[in-house]
Amino acid sequence: MLLRPLFPLLLAALCPGASLVRAESPPKRPPNVLLILADDMRAESIGALGDPLVKTPNLDRLVARGCSFSNAYCLGGNSPAVCTPSRNMLLSGKAYFRWTGLQAPAESTTFPATFAAAGYATYHHGKRSNTAIKIQAQFEVNKYFDEDADRIGGDPGRQIADEAVDYLKSRGDDRPFFMYLGFANPHDPRVADRRYTSQYELSQIKLPRNFLPLHPFDDGEMAVRDERLAPWPRPAELLRQQWLDYYAVITAMDLHIGRVLDTLRDRGLEENTIVIFSADQGISLGSHGLLGKQNLYDAAMKSPLVLAGPGVRHGRSEALVYLLDIFPTVCSLANLETPSGMDGISIAKALHGSRGQARDGLLLAYRDVQRAYRDERWKLIRYPQVDVTQLFDLSADPDEMVDLSRRPENGDRLREMTAQLKAAQQRSGDVLPLAVDKPRSPDWTPPVDKTPAAGKPG
């Protein structure tokens, strides 16, 4: 053993012409990228992230070998279908205030265009409605499926996984790939075969700790389509059934995500593939008396976020991040230059083990009726149209159940948080005033009709 380090010197002494130049290692292959996005999925709805009932063995394994973020947020939306601005922000890296209308422009600095320019094969398959249609058209392979059929067919996620597996098995391309799979689940309607629903018992389903029969005031979007999926006041038994269906659909989706991840492993691609799992935003499902995602509580705006692969540590991060940070982060992990002009920032340091906070605080926004700002501990929500403010201490009250805004000792805190909210608005190009001249009453009475939800799902 002691002779081995001396061998090159002995060789040089005995053979003066011998070269000591070491053979160069082959260039490192750029990592593949697999981005998996769920639709309307709460941040904790993975077994390994804290939900004691949901069965997600494949996502649990991804969490075990990757880094998960406890405070990943959708910035918000300029439409009741928050899916649309969320996906546009994800693929552009920009806040929705930066463009006019619902669709971000298809520039050369988008997620698919940036990776295509770097020599990647780009593949997208997902739902068509409420997505980033212009940007998705930039993918080399751009396919859509019938999300309505997927949601009521009993085996949600099968088609998108079938075609992804076929693509991975049949591709003869030497280029690295960027694959984006936009699932339509667990968005309603939530229909799963008995093999999935039978894994849950209605008697075991517990409603969220912050469940309420009614929201305490008019938040500006009380009777939108999503909120009409159950009558007012919210019947607890009906909400339990909705939760069972929600869990069953997630379990089905998890199975099909597992098939894609297994294909990566079986084809020797796992070690050099960055895998990202997230959702466009959360969903209320009874929290605060609400059902949809048209609000700025954590249940609606927080998403699961898990990354695994080369350059990613194992563990958990409490850093405050946006979903629009995913694009510049993956650029960093893939050693690509991040396009300029983004609102998103790279959180790669957190993935490498740094304890530093990615952001000091986050602006959250919903149309012209709600604005919020949160830092590491506090969260302020402002409703300009009804002149209502809420203040929550998230360290003591993560479910946002105790409004501290009226306590005299919090006066300075309110002023400080409001100033931070205004500053964050200015940085993001958000011009909405936080007060109006003639606010309406915050009192609200539920509609008397029992009309089912109408309109296209958001």
Q: Does residue 203 lie within any of the structural domains?
A: yes
Q: Which residue from 176, 198, 196, 169 is spatially nearest to 185, judged by alpha carbons?
A: 196
Q: Are residues 350 and 371 in the same domain?
A: no
DSSP 287: B
Per residue of the chain (458 residues), give pLDDT as tens. Answer: 333 344 343 334 444 444 333 444 455 789 999 999 999 999 999 999 999 999 999 999 999 999 999 999 999 999 999 999 999 999 999 999 999 999 999 999 999 999 999 999 999 999 999 999 999 999 999 999 999 999 999 999 999 999 999 999 999 999 999 999 999 999 999 999 999 999 999 999 999 999 999 999 999 999 999 999 999 999 999 999 999 999 999 999 999 999 999 999 999 999 999 999 999 999 999 999 999 999 999 999 999 999 999 989 999 999 999 999 999 999 999 999 999 999 999 999 888 776 656 799 999 999 999 999 999 999 999 999 999 999 999 999 999 999 999 999 999 999 999 999 999 999 999 999 999 999 999 999 998 865 555 455 66
* Local structure of 451: helix, strand or coil: coil
Q: Does residue 133 lie within any of the structural domains?
A: yes
Distances (CA, A) of 193 to 15, 155, 239, 387: 74, 6, 19, 46
Token pair of 402 as six digits: 């105790």
Q: Which residue from 158, 169, 221, 162 is spatially nearest to 193, judged by alpha carbons?
A: 158
**Alpha carbon 302 to chain centroid, angstroms:** 7
Q: Does residue 438 lie within any of the structural domains?
A: no
Q: Does residue 347 lie within any of the structural domains?
A: yes
DSSP lists the bridge partners of residue 370 as 366
Q: What is the rounded distance in angstroms from the CA atom of residue 238 to the CA atom of residue 258?
A: 30
DSSP 4: G
Please report the pLDDT score of residue 315 as a whole number. Answer: 94
Q: Are residues 401 and 298 in the same domain?
A: no
**Domain stop point among 360, 388, 418:** 360
CB 370 within 8 A of CB 77: no
Please report the pLDDT score of residue 16 as a whole number. Answer: 44
Q: What is the rounded distance in angstroms from the CA atom of residue 385 to the CA atom of residue 218?
A: 9
Q: Does residue 317 lie within any of the structural domains?
A: yes
Q: Are residues 406 and 346 in the same domain?
A: no
Please report the pLDDT score of residue 351 as a whole number. Answer: 85
Cβ neighbourhood burial of 297 (10 Å; 0-12, 13-18, 19+): buried
Please report the pLDDT score of residue 28 as a whole number. Answer: 78
Please report the pLDDT score of residue 278 as a whole number. Answer: 98
How many domains, in total, are found in the chain?
Answer: 2
Token pair of 124 as six digits: 């997208």
Which residues lie below 8 Å from residue 138, measured CB to CB, with a gap of 6+?
106, 110, 112, 113, 116, 122
Buried b (16+ CB within 10 A) or exposed e, 144-176: ebebeebbeebbbbbbbbebbbebbeeeeeeeb
Q: Does residue 457 lie within any of the structural domains?
A: no
DSSP lists the bridge partners of residue 67 as 307, 315
Q: Are residues 399 and 345 in the same domain?
A: no
Q: Which residue from 164, 162, 200, 194 is spatially nearest to 180, judged by alpha carbons?
A: 164
Q: What is the CATH number of the domain that holds 396?
A: 3.30.1120
Q: Are residues 353 and 378 in the same domain?
A: no
Q: What is the rounded distance in angstroms from the CA atom of residue 353 to the CA atom of residue 347?
A: 11
Q: What is the CATH number of the domain that holds 130?
A: 3.40.720.10
DSSP 45: -
Q: What is the rounded distance in angstroms from the CA atom of residue 144 to the CA atom of residue 53?
A: 32
Q: Are residues 391 and 290 in the same domain?
A: no
Q: What is the DSSP string of 179-230?
A: EEEE---SSSS--B-HHHHTT--GGG----TTB-SS-SS--S-TTSGGGGSS
Q: Are residues 295 and 407 in the same domain?
A: no
State the amino acid at position 191 in one-letter form: V
Q: Are residues 240 and 305 in the same domain?
A: yes
Q: Does residue 13 lie within any of the structural domains?
A: no
Q: What is the rounded distance in angstroms from the CA atom of residue 69 to the CA atom of residue 333?
A: 16
Q: Are residues 260 and 322 in the same domain?
A: yes
Distances (CA, A) of 448 to 100, 231, 451: 36, 9, 9
Token pair of 9 as six digits: 């010197």
Please report the pLDDT score of residue 458 as a whole number. Answer: 63
Strand order in the sheet with 378-383: 76-77, 362-366, 370-374, 378-383, 388-393
Q: Does residue 343 lie within any of the structural domains?
A: yes
Please report the pLDDT score of residue 112 as a whole number. Answer: 98
Q: What is the DSSP string of 47-61?
A: GGGT-SS---HHHHH
Q: Are residues 260 and 393 in the same domain?
A: no
Domain span at residue 386 reads: 364-428
Q: Are residues 255 and 397 in the same domain?
A: no
Q: Are residues 130 and 223 in the same domain?
A: yes
Please report the pLDDT score of residue 453 as a whole number. Answer: 55
